[in-house]
Structure 1
């Protein structure tokens, strides 16, 4: 995260998972049932603006996300998106509770079908949280291999650690790591199927408290 060396850090070191076999996809819920191979996550570097709120990805900390849609061509809320073949059916976000999920719920309500939903997997990276800052915040990696199938992850919620817009969903592919995270930072763990509008709105409102 580029913190000064004199900061005391809460650290959890883990080697990045090997991805030689690629990312296994077991899409459920609102995801499509197509037998075609799911698209792979892309890099979210390069100052890409969030589709929901327009803020630059990677600059504000916290988990990022990206959603591929089967036929729909998503548009950023703040204007036209990139017009490339690779990203024609893709939307990206710098926060989950304040970006990806509200946008995705609206898209599904409008009839869109997702072929893949990827979010930051903190079990894949080394991460550090500055202990002596006013608000603890997770890092915001943007490389493709830091993303994992959102439907396979366990999420820490209602913790004292922030995402890019305040309280957020903090994803882990290793359930025991998510549990340990809540033991240290409060909150509880949930699964992908537990995420709905009511939960997301509760997370959003908690930033106002």
Structure 2
């Protein structure tokens, strides 16, 4: 009888241990910040976010904003995507993270085909307005970029993204530059 009672306690402990382990694992999965299986969706960068390369407040600058989500986690300093006040700085940051083994799961840039942008005189150059609401962004890999135009972004020369090729070509005709696709930007 003593042996049977000990065996019953052992079985009950195993069952309780198994239930506890399963509950802990389930809870950890629910609380995890790793949402890498979810599709990346752009967020608004209008609440005082600063560029992860230069530290300047994004909405205080000219030009396109951008954000990059990574499969293996978040930028070094916070939850969510990395933030940028220029496409040029986004590309610089993304190249560094790729060399560290990080994998992008979503990259978004201001889409000048979908916003009413302004061209503004300032600092002896022509600048394009910034737009950083969530709806102002498009998938960076599907945009066309005007490079080397007379219009400047936050850090001077920048790549100006348009989701419609015709819009990019018209902009380049009016303001100089060439139209390029995403894959060609990484070769600069």
**Alignment TM-score > 0.5, same fold:** yes
Distance (whole Å) between structure 1 residues aligned to residue 120 and residue 68 of structure 2: 30
1:94–1:133 Cα change, 3 Å: closer
Deviations 1:129-177 (A, max 9, x none): 1368721111111100000000000000000000001010000001011
Question: Which structure features the higher share of helix residues?
Answer: 2
Distance (whole Å) between structure 2 residues aligned to residue 132 and residue 116 of structure 1: 33
Equivalence for 1:27:
none
RMSD (CA atoms) = 1.7
Structure 1: 5+ residue stretches without partners: 1-34, 76-80, 200-209
Equivalence for 1:91:
82
Equivalence for 1:127:
117
Equivalence for 2:162:
172
Distance (whole Å) between structure 1 residues aligned to residue 69 and residue 129 of structure 2: 23
Structure 2: 5+ residue stretches without partners: 1-35
Distance (whole Å) between structure 2 residues aligned to residue 146 and residue 175 of structure 1: 17
Q: Which protein has greater RCO, CA pairs closer than 8 Å, 6+ apart? A: 1
- SS in structure 2 at match of 1:58: helix
Distance (whole Å) between structure 2 residues aligned to residue 91 and residue 127 of structure 1: 24
After TM superposition, give the deviation of residue 121 of structure 1 in Å. Answer: 0.3
- SS in structure 1 at match of 2:58: coil
Distance (whole Å) between structure 1 residues aligned to residue 175 and residue 52 of structure 2: 29
Is 1:163–2:153 an aligned residue pair? yes
Distance (whole Å) between structure 2 residues aligned to residue 74 and residue 153 of structure 1: 24
> TM-score normalized by structure 2?
0.77
1:54–1:133 Cα change, 3 Å: closer
> Runs in 1 of length 4+ with deviation above 6 angstroms?
none
After TM superposition, give the deviation of residue 45 of structure 1 in Å. Answer: 0.8
- Between 64-73 and 151-160, report the one with greater CA deviation: 64-73
Distance (whole Å) between structure 2 residues aligned to residue 36 and residue 60 of structure 1: 33
Tell me which structure has the larger Cα radius of gyration. 2
Equivalence for 2:142:
152
Paired residues in the alignment total: 153
Distance (whole Å) between structure 1 residues aligned to residue 72 and residue 121 of structure 2: 45
> TM-score normalized by structure 1?
0.69
Q: How does 1:1-209 map to 2 (within 5 A)?
A: 36-75=37-76, 81-82=77-78, 84=79, 87=80, 90-97=81-88, 99-130=89-120, 134-196=124-186, 198-199=187-188
